[in-house]
Structure formats: structure tokens, C-alpha cells
């Protein structure tokens, strides 16, 4: 039987990141001063299998890591996501509420195997694989089965969410770095450069359907789940209208917003002091049972 532990923090890296990258390892080390930490690589990143869908089906990978933390015996699990990972943690938390509403309205449901896999999960230096079977659409939790029945996936429960440097909406091209990201995603030459130079393998197909955007997802997060939105005033990818839009959509009375002076973008720019503050915020908002 798993040892009972208190709080685990699941770290969701940004696009082109991986659990082996120095910035992710440093974030895990600093956050590890506050709680247990689980890191993993999203599909198509680093040594994980599959192809990146740039934030769409990555909710399944995060869900596998959260489930793994529960299996390790942690009573409480929080997610901390950076950039693409920041959008994923918001959509994952929103999926819990959507799933509950659908099941309440539709009655019993079944989970069908589609072989979604969370890979490269690491906790306290131990590497492992987690497999989950689920049929989900790009919006998070429900799609019709081939025989016409509704298929639903119940996301693993989280107790707090921190989203760092997340976009608020999809297809943003308003900055030079994001125009380069879109080139890497949408062009064959860009995907080749990403695969060879950044160790990130990207699916060529467009989203179908388009996933629920972060700004559409945050109002669906259970108000009882503490939510922190962190963004830098020197973020070169997403300007300040993105975190402000997220905070407004969530409701300023329930989401805490930190606009950090001098902070750039995601885990590469987050210094130890900011990471420690995030860890302290989580331990203060997710008390031991």
C-alpha cells in the first residue's frame, strides 16, 4: 500500500521543454523545498514518445502525471504549468468541472481505451511510465463513441493550480517570438528544425476540433480550487493583456494575479525567488489534512 504523503506539485513544462532540461530540473529542485515534485515530458518532447499537439491532447499527459502522484500516496496534488504547460493546467482543471456537469446530466458513462500515454514521469529522481486509457476530444473530456454512446474521461482531481506565462487565446502572432513558434509548428521546415534542433516532434495535422482556449477554460474551474496566474512584465511572447484576460475571466475575487516586474517568459526566466514564492503560496493555500 502506498505511503500516505501530503502535497505533491506536478510541473508541466513549456513548449520545447522536457524533464531533462536544466530549467525544468531547477524548477523541480526549488519547488521540492515546499513539497514532493513530479516532473514529466509531454508527448513529442525529449525522450517521450508520440507527437506534440502543442497543448491539445497534452491534457492527457498531465492527467497521467497527476494520477501517478495520487498513486504514490499524496493526499493533495497541485499543478504548476509554464507557457504551453500553463494553458494545459488550466484546461485540465476546467475539465474536472465539465466532466462532473456532463455526468450529472447524462448519467452513467464508460471510458474507452484509446491508449493515451503519460511518459517520462519522475518523482524524487525515479523515472517511470504511466498508462491511462481514455477517449477525449480537444475540449477535454467528452466525445461520442462510434456506437453513438457518450464516452467520458474523468480527469484526476487537483487541489490547486498555478499557471505561469500562459497564453489566454490561441493563434496569437502579435510578437516576433510567437511568429517564430507558429513557423515551427505549421511549416515542414519549421517542424524539421524543431525535431532536430529542439528535440520536439510536432504533429502536422491541425487541431480538430479546436480545444477550449485558456480564457474560455478558467471560468469553468471549480471556485474551491485555489488559482494563481503569474506573468512577467517583460514577457516577449505574450503581452500583459493575456494574464489580465485570464484573471478577468476567472473573476478577480477568486483568482490571484501576480504581474512580476522584470520577469520574462516561463521556466527559463523564472528565478529561484519566484519559484520559492510559488511553492510558499501553494503550501499556504493547500493545507495538510
| pLDDT value of position 3 | 53
* One pLDDT digit (tens) per residue for the chain, 289 residues: 445 479 999 999 999 999 999 999 999 999 999 999 999 999 999 999 999 999 999 999 999 999 999 999 999 999 999 999 999 999 999 986 554 443 433 333 222 222 223 333 333 332 333 323 222 333 333 332 333 333 345 678 999 999 999 999 999 999 999 999 999 999 999 999 999 999 999 999 999 999 999 999 999 999 999 999 999 999 999 999 999 999 999 998 889 999 999 999 999 999 999 999 999 999 999 876 6
The x, y and z cell numbers of residue 212, run together, are 477550449
| pLDDT value of position 203 | 96
Closest CA to 61 of 75, 48, 77, 74: 48
Q: How far apart are CA 159 and CA 147, in angstroms?
A: 35
Domains of the chain: 5-172+207-285 (3.40.50.1820)
Percent helix, strand and coil across the chain, each to the nearest 5: 35, 20, 40
| pLDDT value of position 153 | 53
Q: Pick left, alpha or beta for residue 249 (phi over 0 → left; psi -120 to 50 → alpha; otherwise beta).
A: alpha
The x, y and z cell numbers of residue 37, run together, are 515534485
The x, y and z cell numbers of residue 32, run together, are 521540492
**Quick one: 158 exposed, middle or buried, by C-beta within 10 A (0-12, 13-18, 19+)?**
buried
Closest CA to 250 of 166, 175, 155: 166
Q: What is the 3-state secondary structure (H, E, C) of 27-85?
A: HHHHHCCCCEEEEEECCCECCCCCCECCCCCHHHHHHHHHHHHHHCCEEEEEEEEECHH
Q: How far apart are CA 53 and CA 14, in angstroms?
A: 13
pTM of the entire structure? 0.82
Amino acid at each position: 500500500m502506498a505511503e500516505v504523503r501530503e502535497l505533491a506539485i506536478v510541473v508541466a513544462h513549456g513548449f520545447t521543454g522536457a524533464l531533462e532540461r536544466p530549467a525544468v530540473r531547477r524548477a523541480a529542485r526549488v519547488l521540492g523545498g515546499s513539497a514532493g515534485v513530479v516532473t514529466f515530458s509531454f508527448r513529442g518532447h525529449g525522450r517521450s514518445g508520440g507527437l506534440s499537439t502543442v497543448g491539445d491532447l497534452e491534457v492527457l499527459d498531465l492527467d497521467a502525471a497527476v494520477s501517478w502522484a495520487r498513486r504514490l500516496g499524496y493526499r493533495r496534488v497541485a499543478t504548476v504549468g509554464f507557457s504551453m504547460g500553463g494553458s494545459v493546467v488550466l484546461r485540465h482543471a476546467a475539465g474536472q468541472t465539465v466532466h462532473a456537469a456532463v455526468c450529472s446530466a447524462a448519467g452513467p458513462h464508460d471510458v474507452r481505451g484509446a491508449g493515451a500515454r503519460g511518459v517520462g514521469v519522475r518523482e524524487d529522481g525515479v523515472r517511470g511510465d504511466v498508462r491511462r486509457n481514455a477517449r477525449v476530444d480537444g475540449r477535454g473530456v467528452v466525445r461520442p463513441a462510434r456506437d453513438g454512446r457518450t464516452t467520458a474521461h474523468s480527469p484526476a482531481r487537483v487541489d490547486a493550480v498555478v499557471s505561469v506565462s500562459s497564453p489566454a487565446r490561441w493563434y496569437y502572432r502579435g510578437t516576433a517570438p510567437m511568429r517564430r513558434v507558429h513557423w515551427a509548428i505549421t511549416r515542414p521546415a519549421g517542424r524539421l528544425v524543431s525535431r532536430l534542433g529542439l528535440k520536439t516532434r510536432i504533429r502536422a495535422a491541425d487541431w480538430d476540433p479546436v480545444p477550449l482556449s485558456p480564457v474560455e477554460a478558467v471560468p469553468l474551474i471549480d471556485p474551491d480550487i485555489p488559482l494563481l496566474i503569474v506573468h512577467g512584465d517583460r514577457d516577449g511572447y505574450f503581452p500583459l493583456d493575456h494574464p489580465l484576460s485570464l484573471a478577468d475571466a476567472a473573476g478577480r475575487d477568486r483568482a490571484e494575479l501576480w504581474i512580476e516586474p522584470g520577469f520574462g517568459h516561463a521556466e527559463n526566466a523564472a528565478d529561484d525567488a519566484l519559484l520559492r514564492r510559488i511553492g510558499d503560496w501553494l503550501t499556504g493555500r493547500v493545507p495538510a489534512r
